[in-house]
Protein backbone atom coordinates (compact mmCIF):
# COMPACT_ATOMS: atom_id res chain seq x y z
CA UNK A 1 0.00 0.00 0.00
CA UNK A 2 2.96 2.26 0.59
CA UNK A 3 3.66 2.57 -3.15
CA UNK A 4 -0.02 2.84 -4.11
CA UNK A 5 -0.61 6.35 -5.42
CA UNK A 6 -4.29 5.75 -6.14
CA UNK A 7 -5.57 7.78 -3.19
CA UNK A 8 -3.18 10.66 -3.97
CA UNK A 9 -4.21 10.63 -7.62
CA UNK A 10 -7.90 10.59 -6.74
CA UNK A 11 -7.40 13.42 -4.25
CA UNK A 12 -5.61 15.55 -6.83
CA UNK A 13 -8.31 14.80 -9.42
CA UNK A 14 -11.04 15.78 -6.93
CA UNK A 15 -9.20 19.01 -6.16
CA UNK A 16 -8.89 19.76 -9.89
CA UNK A 17 -12.58 19.03 -10.40
CA UNK A 18 -13.44 21.49 -7.62
CA UNK A 19 -11.24 24.17 -9.20
CA UNK A 20 -12.81 23.46 -12.60
CA UNK A 21 -16.29 23.83 -11.08
CA UNK A 22 -15.35 27.26 -9.67
CA UNK A 23 -13.86 28.38 -13.00
CA UNK A 24 -16.94 27.29 -14.95
CA UNK A 25 -19.23 29.00 -12.43
CA UNK A 26 -17.15 32.18 -12.78
CA UNK A 27 -17.40 31.97 -16.57
CA UNK A 28 -21.18 31.59 -16.34
CA UNK A 29 -21.41 34.50 -13.88
CA UNK A 30 -19.54 36.71 -16.36
CA UNK A 31 -21.54 35.73 -19.45
CA UNK A 32 -22.74 39.34 -19.87
CA UNK A 33 -19.50 41.10 -18.88
CA UNK A 34 -18.05 42.98 -21.88
CA UNK A 35 -14.54 41.86 -22.94
CA UNK A 36 -14.50 38.98 -20.42
CA UNK A 37 -12.42 36.06 -21.65
CA UNK A 38 -13.45 32.62 -20.47
CA UNK A 39 -11.03 30.51 -18.43
CA UNK A 40 -10.41 26.79 -18.47
CA UNK A 41 -8.54 24.34 -16.28
CA UNK A 42 -5.64 22.20 -17.49
CA UNK A 43 -4.94 19.18 -15.34
CA UNK A 44 -5.48 15.76 -16.87
CA UNK A 45 -2.60 15.93 -19.33
CA UNK A 46 -0.17 17.00 -16.59
CA UNK A 47 -1.41 14.17 -14.37
CA UNK A 48 -1.05 11.67 -17.24
CA UNK A 49 2.52 12.80 -17.84
CA UNK A 50 3.36 12.47 -14.15
CA UNK A 51 1.88 8.98 -13.94
CA UNK A 52 3.39 7.71 -17.20
CA UNK A 53 6.58 9.72 -16.97
CA UNK A 54 10.03 8.42 -16.48
CA UNK A 55 10.60 6.30 -13.40
CA UNK A 56 14.03 7.87 -13.13
CA UNK A 57 14.03 11.12 -11.24
CA UNK A 58 16.51 13.23 -9.38
CA UNK A 59 16.04 15.57 -6.50
CA UNK A 60 17.06 19.08 -7.56
CA UNK A 61 19.51 20.84 -5.28
CA UNK A 62 18.42 24.26 -6.49
CA UNK A 63 14.90 25.42 -7.48
CA UNK A 64 16.34 26.87 -10.71
CA UNK A 65 17.63 23.49 -11.89
CA UNK A 66 15.83 21.72 -14.71
CA UNK A 67 13.82 18.80 -13.28
CA UNK A 68 14.92 15.34 -14.37
CA UNK A 69 12.31 12.69 -15.05
CA UNK A 70 9.33 14.84 -15.98
CA UNK A 71 6.60 16.08 -13.70
CA UNK A 72 6.41 14.60 -10.23
CA UNK A 73 3.03 13.54 -8.96
CA UNK A 74 3.20 15.68 -5.83
CA UNK A 75 3.79 18.80 -7.95
CA UNK A 76 0.87 18.24 -10.33
CA UNK A 77 -1.84 20.83 -9.78
CA UNK A 78 -4.69 22.29 -11.82
CA UNK A 79 -3.73 25.32 -13.89
CA UNK A 80 -6.22 28.04 -14.78
CA UNK A 81 -5.75 29.30 -18.32
CA UNK A 82 -7.48 32.40 -19.71
CA UNK A 83 -8.70 31.93 -23.28
CA UNK A 84 -7.24 34.84 -25.25
CA UNK A 85 -8.72 33.80 -28.56
CA UNK A 86 -10.85 36.19 -30.53
CA UNK A 87 -14.47 36.35 -29.44
CA UNK A 88 -17.29 35.84 -31.91
CA UNK A 89 -19.49 38.18 -29.88
CA UNK A 90 -19.66 41.90 -30.52
CA UNK A 91 -19.05 42.79 -26.86
CA UNK A 92 -15.72 40.90 -26.81
CA UNK A 93 -16.95 38.28 -24.35
CA UNK A 94 -15.83 34.73 -25.19
CA UNK A 95 -18.24 32.82 -22.90
CA UNK A 96 -20.63 30.46 -24.65
CA UNK A 97 -23.33 29.65 -22.09
CA UNK A 98 -24.28 26.37 -23.80
CA UNK A 99 -20.68 25.14 -23.79
CA UNK A 100 -20.15 26.18 -20.17
CA UNK A 101 -23.37 24.46 -19.06
CA UNK A 102 -22.28 21.25 -20.80
CA UNK A 103 -18.84 21.51 -19.16
CA UNK A 104 -20.50 21.95 -15.77
CA UNK A 105 -22.65 18.85 -16.26
CA UNK A 106 -19.63 16.84 -17.41
CA UNK A 107 -17.57 18.02 -14.44
CA UNK A 108 -20.36 17.10 -12.02
CA UNK A 109 -20.45 13.55 -13.42
CA UNK A 110 -16.65 13.31 -13.25
CA UNK A 111 -16.62 14.54 -9.64
CA UNK A 112 -19.20 11.93 -8.61
CA UNK A 113 -17.25 9.17 -10.37
CA UNK A 114 -14.08 10.22 -8.55
CA UNK A 115 -15.90 10.25 -5.20
CA UNK A 116 -17.24 6.74 -5.93
CA UNK A 117 -13.74 5.49 -6.80
CA UNK A 118 -12.24 6.98 -3.64
CA UNK A 119 -15.03 5.53 -1.50
CA UNK A 120 -14.50 2.09 -3.02
CA UNK A 121 -10.74 2.30 -2.45
CA UNK A 122 -11.21 3.29 1.19
CA UNK A 123 -13.77 0.49 1.66
CA UNK A 124 -11.22 -2.04 0.37
CA UNK A 125 -8.60 -0.70 2.77
CA UNK A 126 -11.11 -0.86 5.62
CA UNK A 127 -11.88 -4.50 4.72
CA UNK A 128 -8.18 -5.39 4.82
CA UNK A 129 -7.72 -3.64 8.16
CA UNK A 130 -10.73 -5.49 9.60
CA UNK A 131 -9.41 -8.79 8.15
CA UNK A 132 -12.50 -9.23 6.02
CA UNK A 133 -14.97 -8.64 8.87
CA UNK A 134 -17.50 -5.87 8.61
Residue 69 lies in a domain: no
Residue 67 lies in a domain: no
Count structural domains, the chain. 1
pLDDT of 65-113, one tens digit each? 666 655 688 889 999 999 887 777 899 999 999 999 999 999 999 999 9
Q: Calculate the alpha carbon distances from 121 to 41, 48, 77, 92, 107 in Å.
A: 26, 20, 22, 46, 21
Q: CA–CA separation, 27 vs 91, rounded Å? A: 15
Q: Are 47 and 12 in contact (CB under 8 A)?
A: yes
Task: Report the pLDDT value the prediction gives residue 66, as an integer from 0 to 100.
Answer: 65
Domain ranges, residue 16: 6-43+78-129
Residue 72 lies in a domain: no
Global model pTM greater than 0.95: no
pLDDT of 15-35, one tens digit each? 999 999 999 999 999 999 999
Residue 121 lies in a domain: yes
Amino acid sequence: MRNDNTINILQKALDASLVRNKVIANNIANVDTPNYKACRVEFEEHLRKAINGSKMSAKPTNPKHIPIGGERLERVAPRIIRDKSISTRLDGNSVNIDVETAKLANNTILYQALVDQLSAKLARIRTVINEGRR
